[in-house]
Amino acid sequence: MNSGEELKTNIQNLEQQLPENLEENFEINDKQKFEQYVDTIIDNVENEALQIKEDGLSTLDKTSHSYNLPEEEVTIIREENHVDAKLQSNFDEINQLNQNTTKEIKYIGEDLESKQASETQKSNIEKESNIVESTENKEELELGEYLEKEIFSKFSVSKESQERALAEAPEDKREVLERSFQNTRDSLATMYELDTVEGRVDEQAYELAKIKKNAEVAFPYLSNALQSFEQKAIENGIDFKITPQDLRVSPKFVDVGSLSGKFDLIGERLRNTIRNIVGEEKENEIFAKVDWEGLKKQSLENISKDINNQSPVSRHDFLKTMSREELTEILGAELERSQSSGFLNSNVSPDSLRKIVASGGFKDVLNMSEEERKNVSGGTRAFSDYLRHRKMSEESLNVRRTGDEVVLYGTYAHDFNDEKKYGGASQYGDIFIRFKPGTEVSYTEGDSMNPRDSALVKKKIGKAVSAKGFGYNRTEEYEYTENPKSRQVSEEHAPLAKALLVVDLKRQADMAGEFEMGRHYSYLEGQIRNPTFENIESINIPRSALENADGENVAFLDQLRNDPTWRDKINIIES
């Protein structure tokens, strides 16, 4: 879907539907045939629009069933991501385009007076502007210097702190610790770049402005071209006044994507108007002098440049920054919350917990027999890819050092959203196992194998890839070794790394406002090495999970709560 080739085909298909050799197919002097021609074109316009909408609905249906997800889940995802609403909005735009075009064609067909058209369109473009002024940044210290002098030491990740920590760390932890210091400094630097220098796009204001700008962006160019035309005409001894309205051009009729055609259309109208003033004989002479084609070319070049740079409203105009002090304060507050309330945990489903307890310990899919693996997930290609990627990632992070180790995935959760109630990645299960301090763990900013959503993480990855030089293609090797390593942090830096992620996600959500595409989420993923039941501090079960348990899990959870080995560790979380 949406591939370049498919779009090219679409263009070709659309072009093919244009009437060819109009002069040959159409008897020019036949008014009745002209009316039939207008009707046919209007029918075509409606049918094209209908076809695109039907294709959209059909693709929506096909996509909804393409990943074998349960209907209810797909329904929830469609709602959460406003898919139907967005599609409806797209249909509304198609309908509007359809109506406007039909009106324009009829307008020509009926040879209406220009005034009528411009008046009917005026009300649609008079909407208030929501353009947000971009924030100027004039910092006294260069950012790099500021970070080195004030921020790295404030957050205990300076090179001096690193040297001290490395001197005290056991040999086998030094490599990861050193990387963690560097990665955390990179994250801080990236966040300060993002929020105090470059800024984040106020998506909400941007979307609103785009709606307005679409109708407005091209109109001034047309007006300017007309003014230049008028000026040149005066210079050439032709004195007349002409406005866009005289040429049946209203702002609403000017669309960014169709300017070349619009200029041709206006050129034709201009010729007609001039012909009426000076007669046909002088028309060509005047046009040669005032150079409408040149004005058109120049205007289109300007517009094209403008659109290419700003497309069609510049996102850069909506960048919002904050002061260094403000960011430091927000980050400090989140770090405090993260330090005081953070904990290592792993979300599990009742089914998974039952299997873990029954087997007497945590298992790792990489250590399972082929038979056991088949029970987990039927031997698909995705499954074998996953296993290979997981092994690469874990080895690169130094959490899998020998073949038979167990690596359990969890998160660093803290008092953010509902994490204290439901764990740090509740999408993986309603229950969360909380681990004791001292459990051996390494972390990555975002999912080690599939980072997403966090602008901070994406920017870090982008910088790392850019540093490899122009044209570098991300390989599998990069994705599952260097990439996770560039996001790895040790336990010492987990509270700060989590605070950075949360501040990042909150900023993203604030900027997106009502235009947010689903909830942003990301977690500080924990790779827990060789966990045992001894490492478990508590098993936290929301009341709703108890109530919703079915089948074998009802008896299992009940038994667990009364089992002397486990009962002291079970917490029931009230909703």
Partner 1 sequence: MTKEEIQKQVEQIEIIYKSYLSNLLELKKKQDKILSDFSEVLKDKRLDQLKKELTIS
Q: Could you say which residues in the range 77-96 bind partner 1, by CB under 8 A?
A: 77-78, 81, 83, 86-87, 90, 93-94
What is the C-alpha end-to-end distance of the chain, expressed in Å?
A: 42
Kindly state whether residue 11 participates in binding partner 1, applying the rule CB under 8 A. Answer: yes
49 or 177: whose CB is closer to partner 1? 49
Q: Give least dist CB 136 to partner 1, A.
A: 33
If binding is defined by CB under 8 A, does position 48 make contact with partner 1? yes
- When binding is defined by CB under 8 A, the residue of 5, 18, 24, 133 that contacts partner 1 is 18
The 3 state secondary structure assigned to 118-173 is: HHHHHHHHCCCCCCCCCCCCCCCCCHHHHHHHHHHHHCCCCHHHHHHHHHHCCHHH
Positions in 244-273 near partner 1 (CB under 8 A): 255, 257-258, 261-262, 264-265, 268, 272
375 touches partner 1 by CB under 8 A: yes
Pick the stretch among 105-113, 140-148, 455-463, 487-495 that binds partner 1 (CB under 8 A). Answer: 105-113
Q: Does the footprint of partner 1 cover residue 508 (CB under 8 A)? A: no
Site membership for partner 1, residue 111 (CB under 8 A): yes
**Residue 442 identity:** S
Under rule CB under 8 A, residue 348 binds partner 1: yes
Distance CA 471, CA 490 (A): 32
Q: Is 52 in the site for partner 1 (CB under 8 A)?
A: yes
Distance in Å, CB of 186 to partner 1, minimum: 25
Give CA–CA dist 538/434, Å, rounded.
5
Asked if residue 159 binds partner 1 (CB under 8 A), the reply is: no
Task: Say whether residue 368 binds partner 1 (CB under 8 A).
Answer: yes
Residue 193 has phi, psi (to 5 degrees) of: -60, -45
By CB under 8 A, residue 523 contacts partner 1: no
50 lines the binding site for partner 1 (CB under 8 A): no
307 contributes a contact to partner 1 by CB under 8 A: no
What's the min distance (Å) between Cβ of 390 and partner 1? 8
Q: For the chain, what is the radius of gyration of the CA atoms?
A: 32
Among 15, 126, 371, 534, binds partner 1 (CB under 8 A): 15
Phi, psi of 528 (to 5 degrees): -90, 125
126: contact with partner 1 by CB under 8 A: no
Pairing of strands 407-413, 343-348: antiparallel
* Interatomic CA distance for residues 181 and 152, integer angstroms: 10
Tokens of 77: 């995802």
User: Is there binding between residue 7 and partner 1 (CB under 8 A)?
Assistant: yes
CB closer to partner 1 out of 123 and 427: 427
Is residue 60 a contact residue for partner 1 (CB under 8 A)?
yes
Residues 414-433 that bind partner 1 (CB under 8 A): 427-429
User: In whole angstroms, what is the distance from residue 357 CA to residue 363 CA?
Assistant: 11
Residue number with CB closer to partner 1 (108 or 555)? 108
Per residue, the 3-state secondary structure of 64-87, as one string, reads HCCCCCCHHHHHHHHHHCCHHHHH
Rounded Cα–Cα distance for residues 425 and 409 (Å): 10
Give one DSSP letter per residue of 316-351, joined into a string.
GGGEE---HHHHHHHHHHHHHHHHHH-EEEEEE-HH
Closer residue to partner 1 (CB): 151 or 455: 455
Q: Which of 39, 43, 54, 73 binds partner 1 (CB under 8 A)?
A: 73
User: Any idea which residue has 């039952």 for tokens?
Assistant: 354
Cβ–Cβ < 8 Å for 528, 441 = yes
Residue 399 CB, shortest distance to partner 1, in Å, is 13
Using CB under 8 A as the binding rule, whether residue 134 contacts partner 1 is answered as: no
As measured in angstroms, the least distance from the Cβ of 195 to partner 1 is: 25
Count residues near partner 1 (CB under 8 A): 90
The upper half-sphere exposure of residue 183, i.e. CA atoms within 13 Å in the direction of its Cβ, equals 31
CB atoms within 10 A of CB 220: 12
Task: Name the minimum Å distance from CB 500 to partner 1.
Answer: 22
